[in-house]
Amino acid sequence: MPDQKQSILLGALVTGVLSTSYLGFINLLCCAGIIAGAMVAVWHYTETNRLTLASGQGAVMGLLTALGGVVISFAFNYLLSLIGLDAEEAVQRWILDFYEGTLPPEQIDQIREQMEAGQSWGQRIFGGAVALVVASIFGAIGGAIGAAVFKKGGEEPAAEAF
């Protein structure tokens, strides 16, 4: 079976971009950015090599794509935060503006203090682990969907080890 690295990298880049900063809100729609990136990887692979993937092979490809996309997204978000384009900060401002007239000032101050305190390293690591698990699941789903949709070159090949 031909090498999948280039297709996985392309899909991971799509996933990473669609999961970065303000574009990351697309993932509120059932992780649509992750599924799209996995489908792009499978599409690129089947189109380039003119072959059909079994759904299990597509799922594995989608999983690897999602894992790479999460890493790329974290890197992009870090770089964007350095130049002041931080979606988390914008969401925090929106939350404060939303509750400004409805909650007592003491509660608003409490919310503001919690937001300014940020996350501990343990919370960040736990959040990253959860993101990897969720992305893996939806990446596998996207890869399996892509394998079912993007069929090229006749019969599905027998399942092989990657």
Question: What is the band of 93 on the pLDDT scale with cuts at 50, 70, 90?
Answer: confident
* Number of other residues whose CB lies within 10 A of the CB of residue 135: 29
Question: What is the band of 161 on the pLDDT scale with cuts at 50, 70, 90?
Answer: very low
Kindly state the percentage of the chain with pLDDT values over 70.
94
Which position has the higher pLDDT, 159 or 116? 116
Q: Where are the domains of the chain?
A: 5-83+130-149
Spacing of C-alpha 80 from chain mean position:
16
The stretch 147-159 carries a mean pLDDT of 71
CA dist 90 → 46, 86, 95 (Å): 39, 7, 9
The string of pLDDT tens digits covering residues 20-68 is 877 877 887 888 999 999 999 999 999 999 999 999 999 999 999 999 9
**What is the structure's pLDDT at 147?**
95
Residue 105, φ and ψ in degrees, nearest 5: -55, -30
